[in-house]
């Protein structure tokens, strides 16, 4: 019984850590590739910021002038 509890705890802890990694890294290919390569959260976060900036740069291409003021609150 004790061995089963140890295994259950190990599996739960391992899956919890993997879930945290997944939630942080997300699914963008560049972020995933950087995480696999470096396991460096600072580098991954820099990629996230770059992706967000790219999206923000595209907003004016697709939104009307009236909607832009609401996008960049």
pLDDT per residue as tens digits for the range 29-60: 999 999 999 999 999 999 999 999 999 888 88
- 47 with 34: CB under 8 angstroms? yes
Binned at pLDDT 50, 70 and 90, residue 72 comes out as: low
- Distance, CA of 65 to CA of 23 (rounded, Å): 34
Predicted local distance difference test score (pLDDT) of residue 70 = 76
Predicted local distance difference test score (pLDDT) of residue 73 = 56
Percentage of the chain surpassing pLDDT 70? 92
pTM score, whole prediction: 0.72
Q: How many CB atoms lie within 10 A of CB 45?
A: 14
Predicted local distance difference test score (pLDDT) of residue 2 = 64
């Amino acid at each position: 019984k004790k061995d089963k509890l140890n295994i259950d705890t190990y599996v739960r802890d391992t899956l919890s850590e993997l879930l945290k990694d997944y939630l942080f890294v997300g699914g963008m290919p560049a972020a995933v590739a950087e995480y696999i390569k470096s396991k460096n959260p600072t580098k991954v976060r820099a990629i996230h910021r770059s992706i967000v900036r790219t999206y923000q740069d595209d907003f004016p291409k697709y939104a009307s002038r009236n909607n832009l003021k609401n996008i960049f609150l």
